[in-house]
Structure 1
Amino acid sequence: MSETNNELLAALESADQIKVGDVVTGEVVAIDNDNQAVIGLHTGEEGVVPAREYSDDRNINLADELKVGDTVEAVVINNVTSDKEGVAYLLSKKRLDARKAWENLNFAEGDTVDAKVVNAVRGGLVVTVEGVRGFVPASMVAERFVSDLNQFKNKDIKAQVIEIDPAKSRLILSRKAVIAQEHAEKIAEVFGKLSVGEVVEGTVARLADFGAFIDLGGVDGLVHVSEISYDRVKNPADVLSRGEKVNVKILALDEEKGRISLSIKATQPGPWDKVAEEAPAGTVLEGTVKRVKDFGAFVEIFPGIEGLIHVSQISHKRVENPADVLKSGDKVKVQVLDVKPAEERISLSMKALEEKPAHEEEDNDGRASRADIAAYNQQDDESGATLGDIFGDKL
């Protein structure tokens, strides 16, 4: 054989040689028992595409996807030694598809894309976006920590592109960023519809020791534990349940911080609403002394309702210090002198139920003394006392 012929044969052999990274096309000649597609190549050799290199679907059965005679395009990822005669190359259709997808990207960093979750791993979610494999770190899955990422497997999610590096086939996305953006838009929409003082219906979304979060249509407002009921509530879960429909009154709106303060008890009749009806002036009641002050004593006459017996209304006898006559826990009979539901004040008298002495001592010919006036001016605001409370019949 001449030197020219040898060079020609060497060139032909070189042209036909398949290298790692080459894209090859061949026909399916068999689907073996290992769930692999055997591909006949133009060189007369064979390559094999395992199921894991055909698709990200771990449960795929190649016999359902391919049949003998089908054409498959794949990339050579390795030379292999096989017991099967003629099988010389490990091929991957999945990696070729990914390469083409990277070459034809039509999104950029900052874009929001649709992603398919193919797997959940310890560090986050493995997804595909238009054929490109990407990753959502666990810290970027949601606004709050997610303990079980498996709940997202095989689901479609929206995520924001955080980083793209085709050279490293690196695609990082954030679902949390999309949620935050949608939440901000929802807040603006909801705040535009609400106003302070308005009563609206909501759904109990979450319960905490300090209160309940109420869903107002995509945005949560907080009912503090003190605003759940007029009765004392130790644990919100004792009186509310998740998913329950409730009416709430809007107490405050802070769009900048996205906070809405709500009240359930403000939508309900308060204990003071019935006081004027059930205990008008002149009514005689029995109550319990709760607190004793220098200016008088507070007596609970209904659950959560306290009235003031001013020092001047304790007895016809002069009382210098209410603590000399009354103590916390004492049961006493009182007469209602005055009721002011709007101010949540009620004035009581023990003296009115006693027989008036024939010669009751009075200062300044029956008029209120300066000492009484000074006592009134210096009294604690919590007394809720009126001039009538202090001076009684002296006025």
Structure 2
Amino acid sequence: MSEDMNNIEVETFTEGEKVKGTVTKIEEKQVLVDIENSKLNGIIPISELSSLHVEKASDVVSEGDELDLIVTKVEEDLLVLSKRKVDAENAWETLEKRFENNEVFEAEVNEVVKGGLVVDLGVRGFVPASLVEDYYVEDFSGYQGKTLSFKIVELEKDKNRLILSHRAVIEEEKEKEKKDLLEKLEVGQTMKGTVQRITDFGAFVDIGGVDGLVHISQLAHHHVEKPSDVVSEGDEVEVKVLSVDQDNERISLSIKETLPGPWTDIAEKAPRGAILEGTVKRLVSFGAFVEVFPGVEGLVHISQISHRHIGTPHEVLQEGQTVKVKVLDTNEQEQRMSLSMKELEEDHSQQEYEAPEETKGFQLSDMIGDKLKDFNKE
């Protein structure tokens, strides 16, 4: 009688049918369950508990848990069941909606495997290494058990393929921050930034999620040959916003305009009478321009180059030459400085017109007196 009843029970179940069961016992490689409204026993093989690899069944379920299950095999007095298939079926519906809506959601990293991360979403989701961060990660071991935000970038239910990206979320957030910053930026405001990249024509500075260009001409008050001469990657700098092009997302910045001008306090840096060393930058018909500080050039008038008469500065100077000069006068407002080389040069003019050796010791009156005597004799 009981055996006939069991046969009748078995015949009422088919493969693929959904049932409810309660966990009664957890063994090493399987879980035993009572089937609702049935005297039949059911087992869930450990491989059918989750879409992920399971070491211990107790990691997934506990005694007394009520589970939604699918019949995978019907035996004489036993049902083989799957929790994994029910989870996957329910998950695909949710995942398809998330994919269509480009939704961002959070999930825990369940495994770190070769080539990326694995996330259990009822379906095994894979995060390739290149889609974890927007920078290179050498060791992913620290991601085990970590909760991250994801977007679905590939979904193929028939191939059981689900590819997730955390990088896409980061890039989307950065793009939003960038747009917000571009809208708030105002020409003339100053802020701090970090030098990200150096090129031949300038330096790109991160000012909070967006990079702006400091052209080589805006790096310093003095002429800069190479940007790397004045800034390095990673330097924290203060910059001033020169222009903002929101459509093309271009920002022009200046470091130069945040620095004191080279002529600021020039009277203190180069007081009258100070002796400085400088470089001849330009030679003109009326003198030479000598750079004594970066961005500060003073004029040595042709009359102040030498004690001896010269027709042109080119006779005694050449561009690039290092010379010593004396400060005659400075004007910060007009950015002018008068310099002299002559005042540091020994004056040999007296020696050039000195009386011959044989006349030394005679007074002019003596010579005139002799002439007068000769005149009176006549």
Residues 32-51 of structure 1: pairs in structure 2 closer than 5 A:
32=27, 34=28, 36-40=30-34, 42=38, 44=40, 46-50=42-46
Distance across 2 between alignment mates of 1:103 and 1:239: 47
Over aligned residues, Cα RMSD in angstroms? Answer: 4.6
**What is the correspondence of 1:1-395 to structure 2 with a 5 Å cutoff?**
12=8, 15=11, 19=15, 21-32=16-27, 34=28, 36-40=30-34, 42=38, 44=40, 46-50=42-46, 53-54=49-50, 56=52, 62=58, 65-67=61-63, 69-76=64-71, 89=80, 91-103=81-93, 106-116=97-107, 117-128=109-120, 131-200=122-191, 202=192, 204=194, 207-208=196-197, 211=203, 213-216=205-208, 218-221=209-212, 234=229, 236=231, 240=235, 247-279=238-270, 283-291=273-281, 293=283, 295=285, 296-302=287-293, 305-311=296-302, 313-315=304-306, 317-322=309-314, 324-325=316-317, 328-337=320-329, 339=331, 346-351=337-342
Change (3 A) 1:144 1:54: closer
In 1, are the aligned partners of 2:44 and 2:83 still within 8 Å (CA)?
Answer: no
1:381 equivalent in structure 2: none
Letter in 2 for 1:350: M
Deviations 1:290-330 (A, max 9, x none): 44646554434346643343545423612335253467554
Contact 1:115 1:127 in 2 (8 A): no
Question: CA distance change for structure 1 residues 319 and 149 in 2, over 3 Å: closer, same or farther?
Answer: farther
Structure 1 gaps, min length 5: 1-7, 81-85, 359-395
1:144-202 deviation digits (Å, cap 9, x = unpaired): 444444554434444444343333333334444443433333223222222222123x3
Q: Which amino acid aligns with 1:93?
A: K
| Alignment check: 8 A CA contact 2:52 2:124 kept | no
Deviation at 1:114, TM superposition (A): 0.2
Q: TM-score, normalised to structure 2's length? A: 0.65
Judge conservation of contact 2:301–2:339 (CA < 8 Å) in 1: yes
Cα offset, 1:254, TM superposition: 3.2
Cα distance between partner residues in 2 of 1:92 and 1:17: 14
Task: For 2:73 and 2:128, locate their aligned partners in 1 and report how far apart those are by CA, in whole Å.
Answer: 31
Scaled by the length of structure 1, what TM-score is found?
0.63
Identity %: 33
SS at match of 1:256: coil
- The 8 Å contact of residues 197 and 233 in structure 2, kept in 1 or not, is answered as no
Q: How far apart, CA to CA, are the structure 2 residues paired with 1:328 and 1:63?
A: 79
Find the aligned partners of 1:239 and 1:97 in 2 and give their Cα distance: 48
Q: Which has the larger radius of gyration?
A: 2
Q: Is the 8 A contact 2:326 2:344 kept in 1?
A: yes
8 A contact 2:279–2:323 mirrored in 1 = yes
Q: Which secondary structure does the structure 2 equivalent of 1:332 belong to? A: strand
CA contact (8 A) 2:40 2:78 kept: no
Name 1:378's counterpart in structure 2.
none
Alignment deviations for residues 2-37 of structure 1 (CA, whole Å, 9 cap, x no partner)? xxxxxx99x948725664x444444434222x2642
Instruction: Name the CA distance, whole Å, in 1 between partners of 2:344 and 2:316.
Output: 19
Shift of residue 273, structure 1, vs aligned partner? 0.8
- State how far apart, in whole Å, the 1-side matches of 2:311 and 2:73 are: 104
**Aligned equivalents of 2:97, 2:322: Cα separation in 1:** 81
